[in-house]
Structure 1
Amino acid sequence: MSKPIQRLSMNEETASAGNVKVTRDDWLDAAMDLLVRHGVSEVKILALGSKLNVSRSSFYWYFKSRKDLLNQLLEKWERKNTDVVVRYSEMPAATITEAVCNFFRCIISRDGFDYRLDFAVREWARRDARVRQVIERSDETRHQALTRMFERFGYPPEDADIRARVLYYQQIGYYALELSETLETRVSRVEGYLKCFTGVRPSQQEVDSLIEFARTVERP
């Protein structure tokens, strides 16, 4: 039996004809860039259209309104910054110190945690109670993932909870204070940080591997 012909909407016909200059992700990436650089108040349809060099009407191929865009932007932030913390905390590791090294890789990787975006969303939350709730949920999700990471290596629940909090909020606080350190200063503290966060002395191989990764990330 032949399938019935499905008629495309005008937007779908335009997209299928190759007339769409930008994608939904292009709009979201541009919105994210404006959010980070100038704050949520500057994430406006006209500004985005100008940035992407497309007409305002093309915005409505992907979004119902500016509110819809902001909702999807918030969802993308969660996928980018919260999901990546969970994923790295669940990576296989032979020791707890190796597991914490995985978390550090998540923080410093170019494709990992984006602290500038995170603080742009936190600034947004100061003006929007709904966004504040989303941040609180994400912080709890990240904390629980790190707690489970410690529990996998035999830490009692209460100990795992505290160590996860110290690890996570120390890292968030590091960026909140905008501390400026050279790479050499940071890597000189790797072994001490790992021992402090876990109570276990890391192997030299674990330390060297993380330092080499950090040096690779720093290279242009």
Structure 2
Amino acid sequence: MNSSTAKQSLTAEDWAQAALDAIAETGMKGLAVEPLARRLGVTKGSFYWHFANRRTLLVAALDLWERRETDEVLARAAQETDPRKRLARLFREADGSQRAGRLYLTLANATENQVAAAVVRRVMEHRMQFLRDCYADMGLDAQEASERAAMAYSMFLGTLQLRRDAPETIPSGERFHEYMHFIGEALIPGYDRALVRRESDD
């Protein structure tokens, strides 16, 4: 592939995805043009075809992360009219993988980077509001809805950290489905395991 072809075939989203992968693997230091170009098998010219500098790449990468891991996940969960089913779907669809844990925690810990810090804060507030709304729709008052939302989000963050630091502590394979039912029973008032299992099997 020559340089001109690479510029035309690689999209800005390809670069953004490669940036997220690098950040998940090596931290914020992974956001460097030359290593990313090598990862993608192109020259730096391809990068400058799409981005003015490293900061604009970071903005694009964070936008991609926010869209895929928050906006799209919440939109799918919101299709459920029953708030209990909505929360159960959210728990099933949220990415709790080891990579997701490394990426989220790296971004959250990059407090000196104002761009990343602002996006992480916005993502957290968006997710927390969704959780609060679900609990409120179950008939809980504002205080209990807020407290349950904080508990649910704390469990999600804890799962990400365990996935990153001690992945053997989180069940995998078929046992993971049972683990998700356990989480549902712990976090969703009136959780109906049989109903959720039937719907998941359809």
Question: Smaller-chain TM-score range?
Answer: 0.7 to 0.9
Equivalent in the alignment of 1:87:
75
User: Equivalent residues in 2 for 1:10-159 (5 A)?
Assistant: 20-94=8-82, 96-107=83-94, 114-123=100-109, 125-159=110-144
- Max Rg structure: 1
Q: Please state how far the C-alpha of 1:130 moved relative to its aligned partner.
A: 4.0
For 2:71, what is the secondary structure of its paired residue? helix
Partners of 2:7 and 2:46 within 8 A in 1: no
Look up the SS of the partner of 2:130 in the other structure: helix
Structure 1 residue 139 displacement after superposition = 0.5
User: What is the match of residue 172 of structure 1?
Assistant: 157
Residue 91 of structure 1: SS of its match in structure 2? coil
Query: TM-score of the superposition, structure 1-length normalised?
Result: 0.74
Q: Alpha carbons of 1:25 and 1:209: their partners in 2 closer, same or farther (altered >3 Å)? A: same
Q: Which residue of 2 aligns with 1:7?
A: none
- Runs of 5+ consecutive residues of structure 2 not aligned to the other structure: 164-168
Percentage of identical aligned residues: 23
Deviation at 1:69, TM superposition (A): 0.8
Rounded Cα–Cα distance in structure 2 between residues aligned with 1:85 and 1:21: 28
Whether the 8 Å CA contact 1:191–1:202 is kept in 2: the answer is no
1:127 CA displacement: 3.9
1:206 equivalent in structure 2: 196
> What SS is found at the alignment partner of 1:49?
helix
Amino acid at match of 2:34: L
Change (3 A) 1:189 1:27: closer
Q: TM-score by structure 2 length?
A: 0.80
Which AA in structure 2 matches 1:166? M
Is the counterpart of residue 181 in structure 1 residue 171 in structure 2? yes
RMSD over aligned CA atoms reads 2.9
Cα distance change of structure 1 residues 169 and 89 upon mapping to structure 2, 3 Å threshold: farther
TM-superposed deviation, 1:24:
1.2
- For 1:97, the aligned partner's letter is R
Q: Any stretches of 5+ residues in structure 1 without a counterpart? A: 1-13, 214-220
Return the offset for 1:80: 1.7
Is the 1:21–1:54 Cα contact (8 Å) retained in structure 2?
A: no
Letter in 2 for 1:121: L
If each structure's helix is expressed as a fraction of its own residues, which one has the higher value? 2
Q: Which contiguous aligned blocks of 4+ residues in structure 1 show a shift greater than 6 angstroms?
A: none
